[in-house]
Structure 1
Amino acid sequence: MTTVELGRATDRLLPLGAPVDGAWIAERAVREVLADAARAVGGTAPEPPRFRLAVAAAETPFPVPPGGLPPGELGITMEFAAVAGRPLPELAGRLRTALLGATVEAFGLVVAEVDLRVTDLLDAPPDPVTPAPPPGRTSPPTPEDPVALAALAVDGVAALTDAYGSPVQRADGDLRLELAVTAGRRALHVVRAVRTAVTAVAPEATTVTVVVSELR
């Protein structure tokens, strides 16, 4: 039996797309994009978003990777301070629109609920927050494996990665790839193209799952 390796990453994996997509994405990557979208909403000082599984899928043919939430619809919770004197429903509506837009455009996440909580009222707009620079990113050597080469040939795949284990893992017929998606590309579209390309070169695989570790 082949043992599935555990990588260095400690953050959770969120289900990406529908249960039939067999895809997960690092919570950290989603949090960074949604936090940027929320900070762009004037009159608010948002905290980082939190995620939970709101509606679990009835079943899935894919093995859930270690550290991954089971497939289903997500719930997002965000706390924020608001500038006094501005209508809170309007600010909350703009925040909700920004969050939902980012989840769809950047990722293709399925979100069932967005809970927003006002924690404080501010006398003046908050100072702009400068996001921390991303950590140094490296890519492991590309294995001489048809599966790896097929994945790398897909438009929108920036690199294979090993944050959660080896870039290509096989266990009892299950095949799992880990990769980075090019920033600006919708992650779910890239993942679907990867699964199609990989299935063509590995027809013996019972399931093919994809883990997106980052955008770069």
Structure 2
Amino acid sequence: MTTADSPHRAHAWTAAVRQRLSLGRLLPLGGPADGAWIAERAAVAVLRRAVDGQAAGPVLGELRIAVADPESAPAAQVPPPPSALPPGPLRIEATMTATADQPLPAAAEALRAALLSAAARRLGLAVAEVDLRVTGLLDGSSERVEPEPVEVRPAPAENAAGHAAASVTGVAALTGVLGPAVRTGTGHVQVELATESGHRALDVARAVREAVTEASEGRPSVAVLVTAVSGDATAG
């Protein structure tokens, strides 16, 4: 049996699936005890802007991030978001277009160093490996392509845990990509949010976990999922 609003429900379901898939992998921030994850899309946007901000050098192409060795990755000490990767060391895989005025080994090493630095300083990703593959030679007419901004749809803070999370310095907004911004269960709370670009994502997540724990009855475990970084996002 069909109803008049069946097409609307189908469209809503399709949109929700597309939005979830657009996040990419849910990557661990920090280590097993940190209880924090970040959407691959958000992490890639931060890394790309950090590298593309350099005046010269190779141009970054495709970029993916995954756990370097999932089989040996330790278990998270906090219940993770659904389908989140385990908190093991990460591997960045990327392509690059080299420039003629710089030796290829030096260019690759500079790009590798820039990615490692940005991952640690701006996000808090524990990256163990950076694999680069050269796909071409940059000519004088080539331009760096700015990544498309990620749209952030703020979600309301509807309970004490949400208000506590939203009040933490470095939180740009609560978000609801995977569902409610704050999900509560028996002894556990999951918070979804966007961070501000001037704050290290891992540090913000740790502060949110502490604030939500203090504000919640029974001091539950808390997991934080960062879905966007405000400097690489637009409000919606």
- TM-score between both structures, scaled by the size of structure 2: 0.81
Match of 1:53 among 67, 83, 88: 67
For 1:128 and 1:28, the matched residues in 2 are separated by: 19
| Unaligned runs of at least 5 residues, structure 2 | 1-15, 231-236
Asked whether the 8 Å contact 2:153–2:176 carries over to 1, the reply is: no
Match of 2:222 among 176, 184, 208: 208
Partner of 2:35: 22
2:126 corresponds to 1:115:
no
Q: Which has the higher contact order (CA 8 A, sep 6+)?
A: 1
Q: Map 1:52-201; keep pairs closer than 5 Å.
A: 52-55=66-69, 56-124=72-140, 126-132=142-148, 134-143=149-158, 145-201=159-215
For 1:196 and 1:135, the matched residues in 2 are separated by: 27
Shift of 1:32: 0.8
Determine what percentage of the aligned residue pairs are the same residue.
44
Shift of 1:163: 0.8
- Secondary structure at the residue paired with 2:152? coil
Shift of 1:205: 4.7
Shift of 1:204: 1.9
- Secondary structure at the residue paired with 1:21? coil
Asked whether the 8 Å contact 2:123–2:201 carries over to 1, the reply is: yes
- TM-score between both structures, scaled by the size of structure 1: 0.88
Asked whether the 8 Å contact 2:182–2:191 carries over to 1, the reply is: yes
| Unaligned runs of at least 5 residues, structure 1 | 1-5
Asked whether the 8 Å contact 1:45–1:126 carries over to 2, the reply is: no
Higher helix share: 2
TM superposition outliers: structure 1 runs of 4+ over 3 Å: 122-125
Letter in 1 for 2:182: V
Asked whether the 8 Å contact 1:35–1:48 carries over to 2, the reply is: no
Letter in 2 for 1:24: W
Asked whether the 8 Å contact 1:175–1:205 carries over to 2, the reply is: no
For 2:43 and 2:166, the matched residues in 1 are separated by: 22
Query: CA offsets, 1:154-184, max 9 Å, x none?
Result: 1111111101221111233221111111121
Q: CA RMSD in A?
A: 2.0
The count of aligned residue pairs is: 209
- Go from structure 1 to structure 2 and tell me whether the alpha carbon gap of 1:172 and 1:89 turns closer, same or farther (over 3 Å shift): same
